[in-house]
Amino acid sequence: MTDKRPTLTLKPKARPARKPAPEGAARPWATGGQGRGPSASAPADARPRRGETERDHAGRTASREPERLRPSHEVKIVPQHDYRPDLKADSLALSLLGAASAVARVRGGTALPQALSSVFSAYDVTPQARGAIQDIAYRTMRQLGRSEVLLGLMTTKAPEPPMLGALLCAALALLDPPPGTNPPYEAFTVVDQAVDAAASHPDFAHAKAMVNAVLRRFLRERETLGAQALKQPLARWNYPQWWIDSTRAAYPNDWEAILAAGNVHPPLTLRVNRRRTDAEAYLRLLADAGIEAARVGPTAVRLAQAVNVSQIPGFHDGVVSVQDAGAQLAAPLLDLADGMRVLDACAAPGGKSGHILETADVDLTSVDADPARLARVGDNLGRLGLRAKLVAAEAQDAGWWDGRPYDRILADVPCTASGIVRRHPDIRWLRRKSDTLQLATLSSKILDNLWQMLLPNGKLLFVTCSLWPQESEAQAAAFAARHGAIRLDAPGQLLPASGAGQDHDGLFYALFQKPAA
């Protein structure tokens, strides 16, 4: 059978204008920020193998029409995400291909950290290559809307397979950095290495000439194409349209600054372990090591330039931990005292659990539904020389509870994570608008369940890293009304901020006290 693959061609420069798409709409081949559009493909290991029965998510045999032989032009090649190319370990081509594989996995519904982990395992790359692949993948995620719109302006149809489109987006992210930043590589190097990357992969080696033509056209027509792309909100803001609309509706005076903050590379912020030292002493230690830093909270220190944790003085000895300055507000708000019985619900990866134990000698139980993520809580506490009871369980269920009430409960509930997109830029492309209501419903069940575990006069701190009122203020108000909870002073909604003396993600805090019996 002849394998006739679709050929992607350049859009003629003088082609008559098409009927314009609705403002902010993605090109037909883009997934519109949901990670589940028609061009997104599932990872190869998620597809049924030859000879296996295709099953639905519940494990039951799925009904399907009888198979028929298809003409060769309908044959779809299963993408080889895990293909190990014959490229130099330190080449930009390998880094581009690895980043493209990760981006394609995100477009298939996988979170970026897990996607990168799969790529690192499949490609068996060096630590240096891992860093380059991760850097390019995160850059691509932050600029994906703009790159997709540019690609749609220069091509006539969807790149197939999706990894080819991801490779072009990764290259465009390097050629077209955000205003005010310098390109990380010379333009001719990016084009040359992107072509080498395409040529090395069996799924789209046939498209290497197209890759060359698209990228060179962008360099020739950069100003014209850029101006045309920025007419679309998707390219201007690098968020799905529903996300832009939700932010504007919730914060009519601040929505532009909020969206812009989510596209900025986040700082590396440390939490100083008060059992070992204080912030001022640690700043002197950093200065002695030639590392510039500033204090942005009682125990928060922001590095001027991010470095590997292996280079951070005292990290492996538990002197400091990596934690956003906004997240460091949780433990102090709990008003902890030695001897208290404390619950950290939805605890993974353990930053707040560690901070609680650094603050007071308490009997801490850390609960998380994911056993693998709960293991990270144990690892992080072990580095700090601290201990807690770890329980793998759903926070909305009570079957794991021993019936002994808690003095303090930290409820860092599941949410859309819209307040931490500068650290996790893939979230915007994975979430759907409907996720807000679904997660808010789950969170309300968790809060109601935890409230019964709290002692009279005890305090529950409700935390979410969302910017949407449905998940934050509206949730807090509804919870207080349902239970007659006494609401105490707390920061409420923190918008993403960066500047002198402060630097934090977008989080929400509400503190409640249970009335005396």
Residue listed under structure tokens 């040359």: 192
Report the first-to-last Cα separation within the chain, whole angstroms.
Answer: 78
Is 347 annotated to bind a ligand? Reply is yes
CA–CA distance, 402 with 320 (Å, rounded to integer): 33
Is 348 annotated to bind a ligand? Reply is yes
Is 335 annotated to bind a ligand? Reply is no
Residue 51: half-sphere exposure toward Cβ, Cα within 13 Å: 0
Is 351 annotated to bind a ligand? Reply is yes
Is 368 annotated to bind a ligand? Reply is yes
Cis omega (within 30 of 0) for bond into 349: yes
- Please state, as a whole number, how many other Cβ atoms lie within 10 Å of the Cβ of residue 387: 11
- Type of residue numbered 50: R
Task: Tell me whether residue 169 is one of the annotated catalytic residues.
Answer: no
Which long-range contacts (C-beta less than 8 Å, at least 24 apart) are formed by 385-392? 385/318, 386/354, 386/357, 386/358, 387/357, 388/344, 388/353, 388/357, 388/364, 389/363, 389/364, 389/365, 390/366, 391/365, 391/366, 391/367, 392/367, 392/368
Helix (H) or strand (E) holding 270: strand 268-272
Indicate which residue of 229, 374, 465, 511 is catalytic. 465
295 phi/psi in degrees, rounded to 5: -85, 130
CA–CA distance, 238 with 143 (Å, rounded to integer): 6
- Please state, as a whole number, how many other Cβ atoms lie within 10 Å of the Cβ of residue 120: 17
Is 346 annotated to bind a ligand? Reply is yes
Catalogue the active-site residues.
465
Annotated binding site, which residues? 346-352, 368, 412
Q: Which residues are annotated as a binding site for S-adenosyl-L-methionine?
A: 346-352, 368, 412
